Amino acid sequence: MKSLRTSLATLSLAALLGGGAMAAEPIKIGVVTPLSGTYAGIGQQVRWGLELATREVNAAGGIDGRQIELIFEDEEANPAVAVQKAEKLFQVSKVDFLTGTVNSGSTLAVGQLAERSGKLIATTVSFADSITGDKCSPNVFRVNAKAGQQSAALAAWLSKEKPQAKVFYLGPDYEMGRSTVAAFKSNVDRVGGQSLGEVFAPLDSKDYTQYFGQLRASRPQVLYTSVAGNDTVRLFTQLDEFGLLNNLTLLGASGTVTAQNITAIGKAAEGFVTGVGYSAEIDTPANKKFLAAFRAANKADPDLYGADSYGLIFAYKAAVERAKSTDADKVREALRGLKWSTPQGEKTIRAGDHQAEQIMYVVRVSDGKFKIVGQVDGPAAIGPDACTRF
C-alpha cells in the first residue's frame, strides 16, 4: 500500500515536472506574409506589429509562462507560394497558430489548408467580405475590419451628416472596384440616400474628364470612389482643375487616399472622407502607449495593418490562457466571443462568422493629414452574419 502511494506520488511528481518542462517550451506562431514584391510594405507593418506585441508579451512572462516564437516565411503575395509556405510551417516547424496573409486569395487558400490540417489561422489584413461570409471556415478568424465594416461606417456617417444625400459613384473597372462600389451603394440605399449614377474607368486611366459631363449633369452632393494609388492622384487633381470640388463631398475606400499618395494629391485631397478600423489619431491612453512603443521600435508610424497585427497576439494570448491549451479545437472555442483590448479599443470576435467587431472611425483629410471626424459603434458597422457553414 505504502509503496503504491509512493509510486503514485512519484508519478504525479513526474507528471508535474513533465508538465513544467512542457510549459517552458515556446509557443510557435507562423507568419506567412509578403516580405518581397508589391505588398512588401504591408508585410513590413504586419511584421513590426507582431514583433512588438511578442516582445511585450514575452517580457511580461509569455503566455501561461511559455514564450512566443514567431517564424516568418515570405509568401510573395501569391496564394500558390503562401500555401506551400504555410504547409511547411504546419508540418515541419509544427506551429500552433498562423497569421500574416495579406491578399484575400492567400487567406482563403491558406484557410482551406488550415482546415484540412486541423490548425487555426487569423488574418490581420485581408478585407474581402467573403472570408468571413460565404467562404467562411471554422478554422479562419479575422481581427481587422472587413470591407463591409468600412463601407457601413462611412454610410452611417453620411446619413448623419448629409441625410438623403445624392451620391454619384466612380470606380476602377475591375472586379474589386465594382464590388466595392456595389457594396457602398447598397449601404447608401439602406440609410436612405439617393444613388444618381455610376461610371467605371479603366485602371491606370490618364484622363477622367470624359466622365465629368455625366457627373455634373446628375448634380450630386457626394462622389464616392474606390480608385487607388496614382489613379486617385489624377482623378482628384482633374476634378479640382475643372472646379468640380466646390460643394462636392469626396468619399472613398480606405485605400483611395493613403500616406503613399496624399502628398502628390495635395490640396485636392482636402475634405476627403473614409472609414477605417484604425488611425494613429485615436486619442486614448492605450493608443498613445502603443504609438510611442511602435515609433521607438521601428522609427515609423503604425498603420491599420501594424495595429491590427499587434492586437492579434493579445487575442491569441487571451484565448490560449482561457483554453489552457494550444489545441486547435480548444483555442477555437476560446476565441469565439472573445473580448480583448487593442490600441483601437475593445474588439469582440463574433462566434457566428469569426469576424472581429470593433468601433469604426470616420476620418477626413484636413491640412494634408487624416483627422477623426466621427466614429460608428461596432454592432452598427459589422452587418448581418452571412456565414452558414458553422
| List of residues contacting another protein (CB under 8 A) | 35-36, 72-74, 78-81, 83-85, 87-88, 90-92, 103-105, 108-109, 111-113, 116, 128, 130, 135, 174-176
Nearest to another protein of 14, 80 (CB atom) = 80
Question: Minimum distance between the CB of residue 258 and another protein, rounded to whole angstroms?
Answer: 19
Q: What is the largest CA-CA distance in the chain?
A: 97
Nearest to another protein of 133, 345 (CB atom) = 133
Any residues with CB less than 8 A from the CB of 71 and at least 6 apart, and which?
A: 28, 29, 30, 31, 89, 93, 95
Question: Minimum distance between the CB of residue 345 and another protein, rounded to whole angstroms?
Answer: 29
82: nearest Cα among 108, 59, 106, 117: 106
Q: Directed axis angle between helix 40-59 and helix 304-323, to 10°?
A: 40
Nearest to another protein of 72, 97 (CB atom) = 72
Question: Minimum distance between the CB of residue 78 and another protein, rounded to whole angstroms?
Answer: 5
Q: Name the grid cell of 70.
A: 514567431
Q: What single DSSP character describes residue 267?
A: G
> In angstroms, what is the C-alpha Rg of the chain?
23
Nearest to another protein of 15, 300 (CB atom) = 300
375 contacts 359 by C-beta, under 8 angstroms? yes
Q: Name the grid cell of 314.
A: 493579445
Nearest to another protein of 136, 315 (CB atom) = 136
Question: Minimum distance between the CB of residue 132 and another protein, rounded to whole angstroms?
Answer: 13
Question: Minimum distance between the CB of residue 310 and another protein, rounded to whole angstroms?
Answer: 21
Question: Minimum distance between the CB of residue 354 and another protein, rounded to whole angstroms?
Answer: 16
127: nearest Cα among 304, 387, 333, 257: 304
Residue pointed to by grid coordinates 488550415 = 114
Question: Minimum distance between the CB of residue 289 and another protein, rounded to whole angstroms?
Answer: 30
Nearest to another protein of 73, 303 (CB atom) = 73
Nearest to another protein of 71, 248 (CB atom) = 71
Containing 178, the helix (H) or strand (E) segment is helix 175-190
* Dist. CA 63–CA 31, nearest whole Å: 18
Nearest to another protein of 82, 363 (CB atom) = 82
Residue pointed to by grid coordinates 485581408 = 126
Side-chain-side CA neighbours of residue 89 (13 Å): 32
Question: Minimum distance between the CB of residue 98 and another protein, rounded to whole angstroms?
Answer: 14
* Dist. CA 215–CA 242, nearest whole Å: 12
350 contacts 358 by C-beta, under 8 angstroms? no
